[in-house]
Chains A and B, each alone.
Chain A
Amino acid sequence: MLRSTTWRQRQALLAYALLLPGIAYFALYFFYPIVIEFWASLFRGQPLIGNAQFAGFANYTTALSDAMVQRSFLITLVYAVGTTALTLAVGLGLASVLSGPVRANTAVRAVIFFPYIISFVIVALMWKSLLDPYTGILNSALVALGLPTQNWLGTPSTALWTMILISVWKDVGYAMLIYIAAIQGIPAQLYEAASIDGAKPHQMFLRITLPLLAPTTLFLAVISMISQLQEIAAPYLLTGGGPANATRLFSMHVFETAFERLDIGYASALSFMMFIVILIVTFIQFKVLNREVVY
């Protein structure tokens, strides 16, 4: 018994020793900045670089009634939910088609996946060029068809949805690949049994495929929501947050508050609030989507 405990202790020590570099990395580069950020959020002005006055939780209470914060938060929610829902829906649709015996499906999958591995800088340059209202190829096509030109990224009513569609175009390949892998993991016998019972293809999709993909959907939804709620590259590179703040996502607002306005304490509070929002959203997603399905 004594020898067994000692062995276990040694094992535990070894495990901790092996984990130590990872723990140290996360402590230094993730947890320490979070602590510093929370500390900075308790100050008014320029903590970390210049003049600052302790303000307690005043930055947090100010943020709750700040119209610009509320607006950018709502825009971010629309962007995150819109991008996630569309990416998952289109990804699932493509996966359903391309997981079957389709000719050249490997090549088609590769083409759809390709945008995912491109830097958003290149994606933004490409789409800005394509959508340019005066020199873009899409508007040239509209002119050739006798239709009026469109300023998709320059019109407040269309800019956010244009940005969402560009993000979906970039990310859909990843969702598609994960869904294909999950679909291929569903036992064929389930479909055979359903077929013998007279189930139609759409019934099989709704009653077998979709429920069994719930863990995959949860994974993709959580990862996508966390990523989209923190998104900054899209508005920074495509629109600068405009026109008329129509695409000013929360992260962009935090970034400008910190680096343009130099209001670092307030930006830290906003950042910490978003951290809490992401925790809550992730918790809700787990509660709603994490339902085990067994046949």
Chain B
Amino acid sequence: MKRLLFSCLLLTGFTQATAQDYFSLLNPGSQYVYAGVSAAPALMAQTGYAFSGVTIKDKPLVFTAGITLPLFSQKGFDAELNVGAGYQWALAKNWNMITGLSWNIMRSQDINGRYLCSGFKLDMLPAYYTSHWMTGPHLALDYRPWLHIRHSDYSKEAYTGLYPSGSGTYTTPRDGWFLQDNLALQLGAGVAYFRTHWNINLKAGFNWQPNRLGLISLPDIGIMPFYGSVNVGYKLH
């Protein structure tokens, strides 16, 4: 079973940003839950809840709340919380576009330090619909500019003995709030199979995190240009 789960994860690819599930829009109702796995490229599991009490032009506006947990990287308690809203736009006959905007906050810890990071993610999935299937391109923009770092002793030790004279300007890394250009752009495809009460959906594609060095991939340190997620959703009411 573990091997099967792992194979599924590998097949889905890898994503820089975690998956927020707006596919509850495929199962109109007031309450909905979902769970799934993704790779970011860290292997993650996510679950969440969606609520819909408002309609705009006869289409539901859903509000979502989710949590994402790394599967293998836990040192302390790593988690991302996200809240968002999604709407399904009617584009043309058989063509609709799921759009979602979420705010996320992530706490993680590793040997270098402890982090609190926050930002926004915009998802767009214009898709062709049949009675039980939908498929189309997936586009997403994930921007996480705010970051708080508390460096570990390991990180601080790198500054030990830096200056032959014993003193200099830089003696320790800086703790506190940072701003950064942490942007991830995703271009891929999404597909879902849906029935009245449930759906299963998959997103996968190319992930690009713009950087000044033009790096697309450096697997040694966890930079990989793919993303993917698989989620299963169920309508409660």
The answer to whether A binds B is no
